[in-house]
Amino acid sequence: MTISDELENDQSGKLVIISGPSGAGKSTVLARVFRNSQLPLRWSVSATTRAPRPGEIEGEDYHYLSYDTFQEKRARGDFIECFEVFGGGDWYGTLKSEVAPRLTGGDWVVLEIDVEGTRAVLDHYPDAITIFVRPGNLEQLGERLRARGTETEAQIERRLEVARKEMESVSIYRHVVVNNEIDTAVVDLCRILDRYDSDSVDSP
């Protein structure tokens, strides 16, 4: 059975893909959307080989795996998609086990993944609801990353370079939310999702 068969058999839920440069405030906006929305949104917790940041929790933010365990899972076909995201040796991937059972249960499964990952998932699941959250401008992004203080200057430069590239791929997404102001971005994102709710009057 292919990934696409597995996903297509599980159509009772919806797949939502959110991307956007790291540091664009995506996580803050999403946390608020999860709290405010009436929809059955569920995170897909990705696997990563990067070390946890202070305050991050295993099984909530990510499943933190060693490089070897990650590659074993990759070889076994446990991932829908996985990539070395910043070309710096850290791998990230969406586990099938995080997605298929939740879709079957009717949940809206939310993937917070990069542009390459989105392309890979869309190959199998073209109906996914794709949303790109972007900062007002890249200077703002650099400022946010520096204020967070969890990366070195070299890592920040690399992330900004990836962000520039990612912004060029914005056209593969069905929706774009500009995060200039958090409250507005939260409302915009909730409105987009509500439009896909079959119980809602103006669903597409």
- Long-range contacts formed by 71-77: CB under 8 A, 24+ apart: 73/47
Phi, psi torsion values for 36, nearest 5 degrees: -85, -30
Smallest gap from residue 130 Cβ to ligand 5GP (A):
13
Does an H or E element contain 5, and which? helix 3-8
Q: Looking at 8-16, 32-40, 81-89, 171-179, which segment touches ligand 5GP (CB under 6 A)?
A: 81-89
Could you give the angle at the alpha carbon of 113 between the alpha carbons of 128 and 109, nearest 5°? 45
Q: How many of the chain's residues bind ligand 5GP (CB under 6 A)? A: 15
Paired tokens of 105: 């249960």
Q: Does 13 bind ligand 5GP (CB under 6 A)?
A: no
Binding mask 101-140 for ligand 5GP (x = CB under 6 A): -----------xxx-xx-----------------------
CA quadruple 190, 194, 197, 199: dihedral sign: positive
Q: Does 3 bind ligand 5GP (CB under 6 A)?
A: no
Name the site residues for ligand 5GP (rule: CB under 6 A): 19, 22, 46, 50, 81, 83, 85, 92-94, 112-114, 116-117
